[in-house]
Amino acid sequence: MQKRDQSKQGGAWGAGSSAPPAKRGRPFGSGSINNANAAAIAAVAADTPSPSTLLGPSLQVNSSFADQNNRRIVLALQSGLKSELTWALNTLTLLSFREKDDVRKDPLAKVPGLLDAILQVIDDWRDIALPRELVRTPRVRLLGANSVVTGFGNEYKGLSSSDVPNPTVGFGPSTTEAPLQTRTTKTHPSEWWLNEDSLFNLDDEGRMEKQQCAVAASNIIRNFSYMSENDMVMGQHRHCLETLFQCIEDHITEDEELVTNALETVVNLVPLLDLRIFSSSKPSFIKITGKRAVQALVGMLGSSVRAWHCAAAELIGRLILNPDNETFILPFGPQIYKRLVDLLSLPAVDAQAAAVGALYHLVEVNMDCRVKLASERWAVDRLLKVIKAPHPVPDICRKAATILESLVSEPQNKNLLLAYENAFAEILLSDGKYSDAFGRILYELTSRPSNKVATARGIWGM
């Protein structure tokens, strides 16, 4: 049956003495290929490796392209034109792409004005961004209320006496018109036209395009942070850090991909991040302070998205390594400890690893951190649970044991940790990998006991 259908089709084409129609998307006349072209295509296909031998995407960009088009890329970003902006973002995405084994050293962030131009794309979206669930509050509309035809909420229809949106304002003078006008002049700012719908505002398609451009720009900035020599520039660029922390701060209403890119960028820049930059004399575009930046991370730490609260825990643990950041982080200590202990109870191993890593650095700061963490409910229980499980990564178990050893080193914590003496002894006798750490923990508990510890031992008959 199949052969018969093919013979019919061949007869039809032969009877009409015309070639089959070209496929859509090909130039006219591509339906007929001569033997020479077919031989050339076969030769090229023979030299091309099969798809199974290709290892992922391969983006080939001329190394001199960036040097020759630096100025043009910056001007395209600053122009705001859709075609130019799209070209610049696509070009920078290719230039900032780094394959697995590719060690690129292009300091693209050092191009004059390039980083600010990319950040401006994100700022343009942030200026018009609205909450994901926009609730329109009722508002008295007076613009065009005395006109027969108006386009503000009335679909350009002629108004009658029953169609007037505000019955107190009619066609012509009235006794209530003057007091109402006096009242509205106080509530409306001078830029009243910006508060009206459909006037100098983007439609849904325009807003979506702005959002896509902002996400693409954040992806480029994230790629920049992976490239060597860019982190030094970006870590000292106040506008860049302010934009990133503002996106983290608004993680509830902001685009998820934009927030994720901002988090990954800050994680890459955190070894060079000094929160005092937000109070420095460098020009500021967004009023972000060091306290507000830490608040944004604490809010992200309480997020229900696992990737986000894991990244926030890692950020806080790395930020505290810089002594200059302690004054900004320690006031939020109780909130941080409580949330990190909650993360220890989650079954996700990456959340436990992030929480243990952050606590490992926090307990090394000062005595106050160790005392507050030991007094946190379930802290010791969940650290022991990580060791007993055990965690798939042995280094996480080692860090958890080190945290317990730091807690018991404080005399004020001995009374709290004495209740776990049997659990410590059980791990000491059962697990040889951490026997040294728990041996030191038990030694600290039994040596130089306080009066309350001695009394408790006398009661228990030890």
CA distance 451 to 449: 7
Q: Check residue 341 and give its pLDDT.
A: 94
Residue 359 has pLDDT above 80, yes or no: yes
Q: Check residue 66 and give its pLDDT.
A: 62
Its sign, for the CA torsion 168, 171, 177, 181, is: positive
DSSP β-bridge partners for residue 149: 158
Per residue in 394-411, pLDDT (tens digit) is: 999 999 999 999 999 998
With 0.85 as the threshold, say if the pTM is over it.
no
Residue 102 pLDDT level (bands cut at 50, 70, 90): low
Instruction: Please name which of 78, 128, 72, 117 lies closest in space to residue 285, comparing C-alpha atoms.
Output: 117
Q: Check residue 431 and give its pLDDT.
A: 74
- Are the C-beta atoms of 295 and 332 separated by less than 8 Å? yes
CA distance 291 to 287: 11
Q: 112 is written with which tokens?
A: 């004059």
Instruction: Please name which of 155, 61, 164, 154 lies closest in space to residue 108, comparing C-alpha atoms.
Output: 61
Residue 29 has pLDDT above 70, yes or no: no
**DSSP assignments along 12-60, one per residue:** HHHHHT-PPPPPTTSPTTTT---HHHHHHHHHHHHHSPPGGG--S----
Distances 384 to 106, 360, 432 between C-alpha atoms, Å: 47, 14, 15
DSSP β-bridge partners for residue 158: 149
Q: Check residue 100 and give its pLDDT.
A: 53
- The mean pLDDT value for 208-225 works out to 92
Residue 172 has pLDDT above 90, yes or no: no
Higher-pLDDT residue of 140 and 223 is 223
Per residue in 272-306, pLDDT (tens digit) is: 999 999 998 888 888 889 999 999 999 999 998 99
Q: Check residue 360 and give its pLDDT.
A: 95
Q: 318 is written with which tokens?
A: 């790395």
- The mean pLDDT value for 49-57 works out to 39
Residue 459 has pLDDT above 50, yes or no: no
Residue 253 has pLDDT above 70, yes or no: yes
Helical axes 333-344 vs 290-301, angle rounded to 10°: 20
Distances 14 to 2, 10, 375 between C-alpha atoms, Å: 18, 6, 91
Per residue in 382-392, pLDDT (tens digit) is: 999 999 988 99
Instruction: Please name which of 450, 452, 448, 428 lies closest in space to residue 440, comparing C-alpha atoms.
Output: 428
- The mean pLDDT value for 297-321 works out to 93
Strands (E), 73-196: none
Higher-pLDDT residue of 230 and 34 is 230
Residue 309 has pLDDT above 50, yes or no: yes
Q: Check residue 77 and give its pLDDT.
A: 92
- Are the C-beta atoms of 314 and 271 separated by less than 8 Å? no
- Are the C-beta atoms of 170 and 161 separated by less than 8 Å? yes
